[in-house]
Structure 1
Amino acid sequence: MEIAENAALVVVDVQRGFDEEEFWGPRNNPSADENIAGLIDAWQASGRPVVFVRHDSAKPASPLRVGYPGNDFKPYVEERRGKGGGAELLLTKSVNSSFYGTPDLKAWLDAAGVRQIVVAGIQTNMCVETTARMGGNLGYEVFVPLDATHTFDLTGPWGWTLSADELARATAVSLHGGGFAKVVSSAELIAAAKDA
């Protein structure tokens, strides 16, 4: 795996509101936060760009709504902001894709000549997957470290319910098998970033 010197890490929606289990239900991958932190550290140490994405929900009951403490980044993310040697962007959005946020992610990446992005964060099958799919459609080489994401059990039509692990596997298969992104581990990306 080759990681470009200007590959951007896109950290999606790692916000305090996602710790409210009574709202979201059971989650998977308890090591996600540790792996996300490790990726941020590796990217900042190598001087690569990092994009911090915050979901500003317009739903009045959402734990991610503006003005509510859950809208804030988790402490380990907040304390890392502004610490790297590379470019950094704070992007806000109110939909699933980070490419529909403010400021314009594609314009920012293209201005810096970035062609590779790594998409990590919350939720695996929602904003991470949507951002990765759009990135692939827009022509970027996209990597998704599955162990640096997590999601929650979800009920869909006809009472169908999938566990968080089942949803994460479905996302991984769709992204990787469908050619939208390469699904990898955070350790592989960290090693590749150090070797570059």
Structure 2
Amino acid sequence: MEIAENAALVVVDVQEGFEEEAHWGPRNNPDADRNIAELIDAWQASGRPVVFVRHDSPKPDSPLRPGYPGNDFKAYVEERRGKGSGPELFLTKTVNSAFYGTPDLGAWLSEGGVRQIVVAGIQTNMCAETTARMGGNLGYEVFFALDATHTFDGVGPWGWALTADELARATAVSLHSGGFAKVVTSAELVAAAGK
């Protein structure tokens, strides 16, 4: 795996509100937070750009709404902000894709000549997947760090239900088979970043 010297790590919505199991239901991948932290550390140690994305939900009952403690980044993310030697961006959004945030992610990546992005964060099949898909559509080479994401059990139309693990697998298959992103592990990315 070849990771460019200016490949950007996009850390999506790693916020305290996702700890509220009563709101979200059962989650998968308890190792996600450790893997996200290791990716941030590797990117910052190598001087590569890191993007910290926060979801400011417009829904009044959302654990991610501004002004509510759940809107804050998880502590391990907040304590890493500003610690790298490379470029860093903080952006907020109200929709799924980090490419529809403020400030403009695409413009910031273009200014840095970035053509390769790594997506990690929460939720696997929602904002992380949407950001990866849009990145692929916009012509970026996208790596999706599946084990540095997590999601929650979901219910769809007609009472169809999928576990968080099933939803994560569906995301991996969709991104891979659709050519939106290369689905990889965080360990592969950390190793590549250290070369």
What whole-Å deviation, never above 9, does each CA across 1:15-37 have from its counterpart, x for those lacking one?
Answer: 00000000000000000000000
Aligned to 2:55: 55
What whole-Å deviation, never above 9, does each CA across 1:5-62 have from its counterpart, x for those lacking one?
Answer: 0000000000000000000000000000000000000000000000000000000000
Q: How far apart are the structure 1 equivalents of 2:163 and 2:181?
A: 22
Aligned to 1:90: 90
Q: How far apart are the structure 1 equivalents of 2:92 and 2:176?
A: 27
What whole-Å deviation, never above 9, does each CA across 1:84-126 have from its counterpart, x for those lacking one?
Answer: 0000000000000000000000000001000000000000000
Which one-letter code corresponds to 1:166 in the other structure? E
Q: How far apart are the structure 1 equivalents of 2:157 and 2:194?
A: 45
Q: Equivalent residues in 2 for 1:18-167 (5 A)?
A: 18-167=18-167
CA RMSD of aligned residues (A): 0.2
Which one-letter code corresponds to 1:13 in the other structure? D
Deviation at 1:154, TM superposition (A): 0.5
SS in 2 for 1:129: helix
Aligned residues: 195
Gap regions ≥5 residues in structure 1: none
Which one-letter code corresponds to 1:20 in the other structure? E
Gap regions ≥5 residues in structure 2: none
Aligned-residue identity in percent: 84
